[in-house]
């Protein structure tokens, strides 16, 4: 009993500390394949095989809802502490190469996700790509603004030069 309580407490902490949770079924995957999956998401998530009944209790304790229906059969959860998009991409890519990994759903931003919604999450661009695009757009805007500020100045200089030339030729 004490061991179950400790497991529930640990799972509850994982749920509370995670920015997202992705639920999978891993039936038929080898230990080597599970290790490969863990390594592919290690930077942003922790992947753990879980007991369904203890997970339901821990999720409830942490205020995570909507996973109960998917907690059937052998389950494993990716507790995301980094970029949820990167983890979803890695898991989807792994599932394509290893069809025995089935993404069942997840929990992100206060709402449960279906497997289809997890795939949509994987379709998003990573945080780094979005930040790079934003930086590029800001740089372009600043360049445009600098050009606009310099254009009247350059035009004024050309006008003054033309007037000076006209005055010199008249004299």
Per-residue pLDDT reduced to its tens digit, 111-151: 888 888 888 878 776 666 667 767 777 776 777 666 667 66
What is residue 129's predicted lDDT score, i.e. its pLDDT?
A: 66
Asked if 87 and 44 count as a contact pair (C-beta separation under 8 A), the reply is yes
Q: Where are the domains of the chain?
A: 2-124, 127-171
Candidates 17, 49, 42; CA nearest to 94 is 42
Q: What is the pTM of this model?
A: 0.68
CA distance 78 to 38: 9
CA distance 11 to 60: 11
Tell the CATH topology of 2-124.
Alpha-Beta Plaits (3.30.70)
What is residue 36's predicted lDDT score, i.e. its pLDDT?
A: 93
Sole residue written with tokens 């991409």: 89
Query: What is the average pLDDT value for the chain, to the nearest integer?
Result: 83
């Amino acid at each position: 009993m004490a061991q179950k309580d400790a497991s529930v407490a640990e799972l509850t902490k994982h749920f509370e500390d995670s920015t997202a949770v992705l639920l999978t079924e891993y039936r038929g995957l080898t230990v080597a394949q599970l290790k490969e999956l863990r390594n592919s998401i290690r930077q942003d998530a922790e992947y753990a095989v879980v007991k369904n009944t203890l997970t339901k209790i821990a999720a409830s304790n942490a205020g995570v809802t909507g996973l109960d229906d998917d907690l059937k059969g052998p389950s494993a959860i990716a507790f995301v502490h980094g970029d949820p998009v990167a983890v979803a991409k890695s898991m989807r890519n792994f599932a394509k190469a290893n069809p025995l990994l089935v993404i069942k759903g997840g929990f992100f931003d206060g709402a449960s996700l279906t497997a289809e919604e997890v795939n949509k999450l994987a379709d998003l661009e990573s945080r780094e790509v979005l930040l790079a695009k934003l930086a590029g757009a800001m740089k372009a805007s600043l360049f445009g603004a600098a050009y606009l500020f310099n254009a009247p100045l350059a035009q004024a200089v050309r006008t003054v030069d033309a007037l000076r030339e006209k005055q010199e030729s008249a004299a």
